[in-house]
Structure 1
Amino acid sequence: MRVNEDTVLRGLRVLLVPYEPHHVPRYHEWMMSEELQKLTASEPLTLEQEYDMQRSWREDNDKCTFIILDAVKWNQGYPEEQCMVGDVNLFIVDPENTSLAEIEIMIAEPAYRGKGLGEESVRLMLFYGASTLKTTIFQAKIGQENIKSVQLFSKFHFEEVSLSAVFKEITMQWKVTDEEKKKLLDSFCVSVESYKQIKDMK
């Protein structure tokens, strides 16, 4: 999605940056993992196909993707590829109406799991969806066995709305009220910055 091509969402422990071609080799390494393929219901791609996918996520109006960076490493001057820990996405159900979106989160680096980075990344993405894309209904489709993800989205008031026995998948949903939106926008530390500017400063 072009709308976020120069957007950085900075929290306390993570930075969300647009998915760029230089991220692809590391992302491709992640997706060779059978564990991640299972958790994300993905098929392995060639490196060339991964580059094609990155271009699609950048150009298509129904996909909004950010790479999750470790803010501590970033601030210490590590190369961006070495700061990568996962990704977070919004898939717009109808590009003409951004009020409904499906959210996905992946912490690909095992050492970063269970440390709150996923929770902060989801919060930043909900903030971005509600404030910039005007999303008012968020959905998450989660494998039944992925208890940690179910627990994560439950923290954000997502509730189970359906269960697919065929796909062994739970659909959770959060309808954002005006009061909840205000709390989301006001209750935590986030700054929205220019990706080009922060790269130039590094």
Structure 2
Amino acid sequence: MKITNNHKGPLGLPDGTVLLPGVQSLVQNWEQLKKNSVVQGWVRANILIQGEAATAQTSSSATLLGSSILPTQVELVDGLTVQLSEVVRAAHDASGLSVEDWNRLDEVLREVKLADAIERLRSEAIADVDAMKGGAAGTSDSGEGSDGGGDADAGAGADGVPEDKGVLVAKAKALNIPGVGSHWGVGKLKEAIADAEAKKGEG
């Protein structure tokens, strides 16, 4: 189905596909996506136009392909999540590729780039959290004196950041690691990914 984004900016569909504004795009799995309540709201509000109704410039390259593995909401740290479409845009921007070249990427390579983008976003989120904790610790120390407790709390905060198993599973699947699944532990996933990347580098 050809869909036109009638909004001022890009819109991300639940599968991570990004529709650029004012351009009619071919959405392959529209029959499934249009069942989403948010998408239905956009259609009712004429933000998304189906078929040939819009007078927009038609382009098969107006859509950034997303992921068939990652969830629609990706957790970064401490319950902070981002939409998959935001991850797709970040990965595309970092790649330096045109929309056409991004869409022509091998699916495995695109999944790896998406996983890398998630790690970058997570690092930024962790830095923000640490900065906030550092500011709170500094305020506490100025009122009570320095006894080393602030440094200990900051270290605990950094070490306490949960690993996003979903991202590790996605990266492992993108590297074609056999048998991988959510039943694997974080340590096993990291070890398998490291081995696969090492073998890929040797090849």
TM-score, normalization: structure 1? 0.31
TM-score, normalization: structure 2? 0.31
Q: Who wins on radius of gyration, i.e. which is larger? A: 2
Q: Which has the higher strand share?
A: 1
